[in-house]
Amino acid sequence: MVSAVHEPRGAPGASTSAATGEEIERGEVVDAYCPFCSALVAEQVELPWPQTPRRCRSCERWIGPRRAVEAPLADAHCPHCRSLVAAGVGLPWPPAPRRCRSCERWIGRNRAAEAPQPRLHSLTTHTKRLQPRHARARRESPPPQPEHEVRAPARARRKPKPSDTGTWASIRLYEVTLKACERVLGADHPHTLAARHDVAAAYAAAEDFATAIPLYEETLAKRAAVIGPDHPDTRASRRELASARESAATTADERIDGARLLDTARSLTERARVRAPTIATDARDRLAHARDRGRSTLALLPAAATVSQAAAALPLPRRRRRDVEAKPPRTLLGRVVHLLAVLMVALGALVVTDAFVTLFWQEPITALIAAGNRGEVNHQLDAMLKAAQAQQARQQLTRQMIARDAAALDLQTPDGHALGRIRIPRIGISFTFVQGEDEGALERGPGHYPQTPLPGASGHWTVGIAGHRTTFLAPFRNIDQLRRGDRIFLTMPYARFTYVVERTIIVLPTNHTIFAAVGYNRLALSACNPPFSAAQRIIVYAHQTRMAPLVSVESHRRIRHSAVERLWKGVLA
C-alpha cells in the first residue's frame, strides 16, 4: 500500500503530492488537507505546508512541518471484486499496477474505485428472478429420458391446476419476461425461447390449450432451427407439445361426455316423474358408472344436482314390517362376549376418569383409603394425648404426695432414728442411714445432715449424708473409688431414688458451702480424708435421675382414708 504522506524529494524547490505521487513545484498554490482526517486545513497555500507544526481543527491532531497533503484521503477498492485494497490513500490510486488480494486480478494505474459500486445484473438473471420457482427448477432439472421409454398417461403427467388468480398472474409475468427478452436479446436467443416455452407452459396449466399449443409449436420450430433437433431443450418442447395436444383432446372428450350425461340425466328425470321410481335409481347408477370411468368432476356436477333433485321429488316407498329381517337371538357365548365388552368399556372409562382426576386433583381411591385411616389415627392420637395428660396429672400428684411425706418424715424423725437405706453397688455397701450427723448417730450407721432436706422434698436441694471410713463398720471406707456414672440408690419409706455420680472433691472441714442448692436435686456423700485423719473431707456429688413412689396414688389415698376413718372411730368411741 502506498503511504499517504511523502517526504519532499529531488530538488529543493520541488515537493511530492500524497494523492498522485507526482512532484509539485515549490510555489504552486493549492488547497492543503489534513493527513489524518482529510479535512481542509488551508486554502490556496504553497506546498509543502505548513512550515511549523499546526493543529487541525477537525481531529485536534498536530500536523508536522510540510506534512499537509494536496488532496483528501480516501479508501481504494478493487474495480473487479469491489473489495477494500488500501485505506486512507489519495485517489486516483495506485500509481503503478497492483494485484488485488481477494480476486488475484491486476488493478491498473489509477484504476482503483473510491467506493464499491453495485454489480449490474444481466438480463438473464433478471428474467430468472421474475420467473416462478417451479419454472427455474424445471429448466435446471437433468435432461429428460429418451422418448422410447414408457411414459405415464397424459392426465397423470399434467401439472395440478392452480387457482385462477395465481395462474393468470404467472402468465402476465411470463409475457412481460418474453417481451423483454425479445426486445433486448432477440427472438432467436436461447433465453427468449425459454421464456416463450414458460409462457406456453403457463397457458397449458390454465387449460388454455388453444393458446398454449401454437406457442409450443413456435418454440419447437425455433429451437430445432437454432440449437438443433436433438438438443435436450428441443426434446422437452416436443414432449410438452404432445402432452398439451393429448390433454386438449381429453378435455374435449370430457366436455362432450359431460354434456351427454347431463342430457341423459334430464331425460331420465322427466321420465321418472311419470314412470316408476326405478328410473331415478337407473340415473344414479349411470352417474356412478360415469364417475367410475374417470370423468371430470366439474362436468358431472350439473348432472349430479339434477339427479339429486329428481330423487328428492320422488316419494320413498314404505318399508313393510315383514321386509325387516328379525335379528337372530344371541347365544350364550355371544352374551358373555357382549358382557365382557361392556365391562371392559366401563373399566376403561373408570381408568380414564381416575387418570383425569389424579392429574387435576389427586388419586381418588387412595384418597378415600387415607381418609378412612385418618380418622382411626386421629382417635389413636387423642387417646395417647389423654393418657399422657392423665399420667402427667398422676406424676404431679405423686410429686406432691412424696414432697408432703418427705417433709412430714423429716419433722417427725428424732436424731438416731432410721430414715432409709443407702445402697452403692460400685463399692458393695448397703446400710440403713439415720437422722443426725453427730457421734451418737454415726455410731448407728451413716447419718443424714439435719440442715438438708430429705430426698423428694419440694424444690431443688442437696441431700447430705455422712459416714465413717475407719470405725463403726466404716460404711464409706472406699468412697474414694466411686467414678463418674456410678449409681447410688436411696430407699425411703415413701419412694425410691436413683442418683448418678458426677464428681468428687476434697474440702476443709470448715467449708459449709458443700450443701448449697445448684438448681437440681443432688446427693452429697461426706467422709473424712485421708483415712485415719480428720484434716479434710471428701465429698462425692451425684445428681438425681429417677424417683418412684413405693405405692400408687390410689393405694395412698385408700391408706389415708382408712387412717382417717380409724382416727374418727377412736374419737367417737
**Residue 43: predicted pLDDT:** 83
Alpha helices in 361-449 (DSSP H): 364-412, 439-442
3-state secondary structure of 483: coil
Name the grid cell of 294.
374417470
First to last CA, the chain: 144
Q: Write out the three cell numbers for 372.
A: 378412612
Distance CA 407, CA 453 (A): 8
301: amino acid identity, one letter: L
Task: Classify each residue of 158-175 as buried b or exposed e, where b means 16 or more C-beta atoms within 10 Å of its C-beta.
Answer: beeeeeeeebeebbebbb
Instruction: Determine contact, residues 254/296, Cβ cutoff 8 Å.
Output: yes
Say how far apart CA 522 and CA 9 lie, in whole Å.
116
For residue 556, give the 3-state DSSP assignment: helix
What is the phi/psi pair of residue 229, to 5°?
Answer: -75, -20
pLDDT at 520: 94
CA dist list (Å): 282 to 129, 142, 300, 301: 56, 51, 16, 17
**220: CB partners within 8 A, 6+ apart:** 234, 237, 238, 241
What pLDDT, on the 0 to 100 scale, is given for residue 567? 57
Report pLDDT for 282.
Answer: 64
Question: Cα(127)–Cα(184) distance, rounded to whole angstroms?
Answer: 12
Burial of residue 128 (CB within 10 Å: 0-12, 13-18, 19+) is: middle
Q: What is the pLDDT of residue 161?
A: 44
- Give the model's pLDDT for residue 29: 80
Query: Which CATH number among 2.60.120.40, 3.40.190.10, 1.10.10.10, 2.40.260.10 corresponds to the domain 405-560?
Result: 2.40.260.10
Q: Where are the alpha helices (DSSP H) in 121-231?
A: 123-130, 133-140, 154-157, 164-184, 190-205, 209-226
d(CA 266, CA 285): 14
- Characterize the bridge pairing of strands 536-549 and 495-507: antiparallel
- Please say whether the dihedral angle defined by the alpha carbons of residues 372, 378, 381 and 387, taken in this order, is positive or negative: negative
pLDDT at 212: 83
553: cell is 396414688
What's the CA gap between 26 and 324, in Å, rounded? Answer: 125
Q: Could you count the other beta carbons within 10 Å of the beta carbon of residue 464?
A: 21
CATH 2.40.260.10 maps onto the chain at 405-560
Nearest Cα neighbor of 62 from 41, 89, 31 is 41
pLDDT in tens, the chain (573 residues): 333 333 333 334 444 444 444 444 455 788 888 877 777 888 888 878 888 888 888 788 888 887 777 766 678 888 888 788 887 776 777 878 888 887 888 888 878 877 654 443 344 444 444 444 444 444 444 444 444 433 434 433 444 444 444 566 678 788 888 888 888 888 888 888 888 888 888 888 877 888 888 888 888 888 888 888 888 888 888 888 888 888 888 776 666 666 676 677 667 666 655 555 565 566 666 666 665 555 444 445 555 555 555 555 555 445 444 444 556 777 888 889 999 999 999 999 999 998 888 888 888 888 888 888 888 888 888 888 888 787 777 777 788 888 988 999 999 999 999 999 999 999 999 999 999 998 889 989 999 999 999 999 988 999 999 999 988 989 999 999 999 999 999 999 999 999 999 999 999 988 888 999 999 999 999 999 988 888 899 999 999 999 988 765 556 556 555 655 665 666 565
- Position 5 scores a pLDDT of 37
* CA Rg value for the chain: 63
Grid cell, residue 410, equals 423429716
Cell of 458: 419440694
**Bridge partner list, 487:** 500
Q: Give the 3-state secondary structure of residue 61.
A: coil
pLDDT at 162: 40
pTM of the model: 0.35
**How, if at all, do strands 462-466 and 487-491 pair?**
unpaired
Task: Tell me, rounded to whole angstroms, the distance of Cα 361 from its chain centroid.
Answer: 23
Write out the H or E segment, with its range, that includes residue 566.
helix 553-572
**Longest CA–CA separation in the chain, Å:** 163
Give the Cα-Cα-Cα angle 70, 72, 78 (nearest 5 degrees): 120
Q: Could you give the count of Cα atoms lying within 13 Å of 320 in the half-sphere of its Cβ?
A: 2
Residue 501 one-letter amino acid: V
Q: Name the burial class of residue 127, with classes exposed (0-12), middle (13-18) and buried (19+) by CB atoms within 10 angstroms of its CB.
A: buried
